[in-house]
Amino acid sequence: MKLPRLSVLLTMAMAPAMAWADPIEGEWITTDGISIALIEGCGDRFCIIAKNGDWPGREIGRVKAAGKGTYSGTITDPRDERTYSGRAMLKGNSLKLTGCALKIFCQTEIWQRR
């Protein structure tokens, strides 16, 4: 009996992870149409990092998958460093982000995939 090569086994083992790679990752054009935010995996969550504008390199949020196309976590306003409960909803190349204070005062932005 001939055994498969290690590289074939590794590829087969990694295939489900690649097939289920989360589409939220990537570069997003924010509401102002100029600023870019990067969303990338960081541990068991996704970090949202400002790439340019007034706060390059600053983390402005962390979200975790909460269901198909939905995420929950925190959103930080870089202008005043306040952190709010947040959620994100992904639909195609559009990402709707909402940050709320006290669950009743909310602000929503819609970003487009770059």
Block means of pLDDT (10 residues each) for the chain, length 114 residues? 43 39 87 95 96 94 95 93 95 95 92 96
User: Which of 16, 21, 22 has its CA nearest to residue 90?
Assistant: 22
* pTM of the shown model: 0.77
pLDDT in tens, 90-107: 999 999 999 999 888 999
| Domain 22-113 class in CATH | mainly beta
The pLDDT score that the predictor gives to residue 17 is 38
Handedness of CA 65, 68, 74, 80 (dihedral sign): positive
Q: What is the mean pLDDT of the chain?
A: 84
Region of residue 43 (left: phi > 0; alpha: psi -120 to 50; beta: else): left
Between vectors from CA 32 to CA 28 and to CA 36, what angle results, nearest 5°?
Answer: 30
